[in-house]
Amino acid sequence: MTNEEIAALVEEVRSFCDGHGIAESTFGRHSVNDGKLVSRISSGSWIEDMTAKRVRAFMDQVERGEIVLRGRPRRKKSDSNAKKMAELISSESSVRTPGSFAFHEQRQRFHIFANTTNESWVVADRVACELADITPGRDGIRLLYTPMDNGIILARTLRALHALYPDTPVLVVMKGRGLEDLRNTMGRVVDRLTEHPLSVFVVSNMYLREVVCLTKLSRDNPADVVWRDVPLTGNVSYDFQGQVARLYGELSNEWLIHQGETSQPVYALPSVAVIYRRDRARDVKAILPEHGRPDLRLRYNYALLNRPYLHSHTMTFRLDHVLRPVFDRLAAGGRMTVIQGLGQDPAHEIVARIWPDQALPATSRYEVIRNLRKALQGERFSVSGLTDTNALFRFDMHTLPVLQGHNLGTQSLSSAFNNAVYFAQVREELAQEAIREGRRYLEITEEVLRKHGGLWFVNEAFSVTRKSA
């Protein structure tokens, strides 16, 4: 046989083996009693014409059904590895939603910020102190939480609330912007259903003014609200975790993020999911939102608005789309707490030095409160947080090493820069431009960190309480 004929035979035999799910050595043993036949002739060894005829005769007999081979379809090694890797992907984490570059970069910055600073702990501890002063409704407690983030603040807040009111039904309405928010938050708070079975979680991707009443108001999307009641079975957290995880695939098409005309994220479809324990449905019935008339029971005893708007947002937007809709949904004695960045900290110093020609917009709480008072004329309410002693609080980047006598690595500096950019609400195109220009942004970051002995941030907070009529 010529080399070309041998090569053609090898290709024919390998195709036969793949189709019938047998190894090449098995083929050699069954056809000519030589397990190394295929490996030898594929490496250039000569084969007699009579042996080649026996090989082809064997294949013909198998194809006619005269010989039955037991095997399984084989995959190429690369295909097999890819399949194996695909099988390891959890259905809970494999669902991904597309979106704009800027939006995803912003969410990446948030995750770094949330995991390298202690803001979540500090905020949750402040809120826990306020919860002791709220007055529950006759049939339970209703909380509003926005924006949904990574779930740490909410989980710590609910631990405090459940300790205060272990036998009181609690409704938590959460406003999220993307599937990652939902996945991170529910992954942390689903355990609450075990310790506090009288909990109800409502998650929605709609605008805040819609979430407060779970009713679609905007004309950005003509679709109706996709409403899901999700009663969970079981009595341990692992049961609930698996059932909630199955929601993500269903919600992925609704929680897509599109870039709106004002560069703000716009939801693909308005979505609401009501999550509770099936075995406690009767006990929480009074606080369960109802599809078709969800807003009748939504009067909140407490609302936490953690940086719910950007410094670049107009006062009209803050009042009409954030603060006034929430206040209007407060129950008598209900409280709305608003947290925003102050702007007087090392994070803002880093930003000011990297972009000295860029104005850093900042609106103090005093200006927000003054305009809110005008918008609420005729309403009975009180405001707290007017003094710096009660309003200002600091938190830190807690993953930095002790600076004195230690070098700062690129990763630490990059994380510190990221956190300053995120907290100061720097536009993404500016941040990318600074990174492309070289190491200057890291050098400035290190100088500021050494000047202040670390990286810390200052928030300011104020609360508005609706008085009884």
Question: What digits encode the pLDDT tens for the residues 118-132?
Answer: 999 999 999 999 998
Average pLDDT in the 440-463 region? Answer: 93
Closest CA to 301 of 163, 132, 175: 132
Confidence bin at 49 (pLDDT 50/70/90): confident
pLDDT digits (tens, 9 = 90+) for 129-164: 999 888 888 899 999 999 988 889 999 999 999 999
Give the phi and the psi of residue 123 in degrees, each rounded to 5.
Answer: -65, -45
Please report the pLDDT score of residue 85 as a whole number: 47
Please report the pLDDT score of residue 341 as a whole number: 92
Residue 221 has pLDDT above 80, yes or no: no
Please report the pLDDT score of residue 223 as a whole number: 79
**Torsion sign (Cα): 200, 203, 204, 208:** positive
Please report the pLDDT score of residue 21 as a whole number: 78
pLDDT digits (tens, 9 = 90+) for 375-392: 999 899 999 999 999 999
Residue 84 has pLDDT above 70, yes or no: no
Please report the pLDDT score of residue 86 as a whole number: 47
Separation of alpha carbons 36 and 7, rounded Å: 16
- In this structure, of 175-179, 377-381, 441-445, the range with the lowest mean pLDDT score is 175-179
Q: What percent of the chain has pLDDT over 90?
A: 50
Is residue 228 classed exposed, middle or buried when 0-12, 13-18 and 19+ CB atoms within 10 A define those classes? middle
Confidence bin at 419 (pLDDT 50/70/90): very high
Asked if the bond preceding 265 is cis, omega within 30° of 0, the reply is no
Is residue 191 classed exposed, middle or buried when 0-12, 13-18 and 19+ CB atoms within 10 A define those classes? middle
Please report the pLDDT score of residue 92 as a whole number: 47
Please report the pLDDT score of residue 359 as a whole number: 82
Residue 50 has pLDDT above 70, yes or no: yes
Please report the pLDDT score of residue 250 as a whole number: 85
- In this structure, of 14-28, 111-125, 425-439, the range with the lowest mean pLDDT score is 14-28
**Torsion sign (Cα): 355, 357, 361, 366:** positive
Please report the pLDDT score of residue 388 as a whole number: 92
Specify the amino acid at residue 299.
Answer: R
Please report the pLDDT score of residue 71 as a whole number: 62
Residue 284 has pLDDT above 50, yes or no: yes
Residue pair 299/127 in contact (Cβ under 8 Å)? The answer is no
- pTM of the predicted model over 0.85: no
Average pLDDT in the 35-56 region? Answer: 85
Residue pair 334/302 in contact (Cβ under 8 Å)? The answer is yes
**Torsion sign (Cα): 373, 174, 418, 99:** negative
What are the structural domain ranges in the chain? 3-88, 101-133+307-469
Please report the pLDDT score of residue 70 as a whole number: 65
Confidence bin at 466 (pLDDT 50/70/90): very high
153, two tokens: 């603040």
Mean pLDDT, all residues of the chain: 86
pLDDT digits (tens, 9 = 90+) for 239-255: 999 999 988 888 888 88
- Helix 440-452, helix 428-436: angle, nearest 10: 100
Please report the pLDDT score of residue 88 as a whole number: 46
Average pLDDT in the 395-405 region? Answer: 77
- In this structure, of 56-70, 108-122, 225-239, 251-265, the range with the lowest mean pLDDT score is 251-265
Please report the pLDDT score of residue 251 as a whole number: 87
Average pLDDT in the 48-64 region? Answer: 87
Residue pair 307/337 in contact (Cβ under 8 Å)? The answer is no
Q: Where are the alpha helices (DSSP H) in 301-439?
A: 315-317, 324-328, 346-354, 365-375, 388-391, 410-423, 428-436
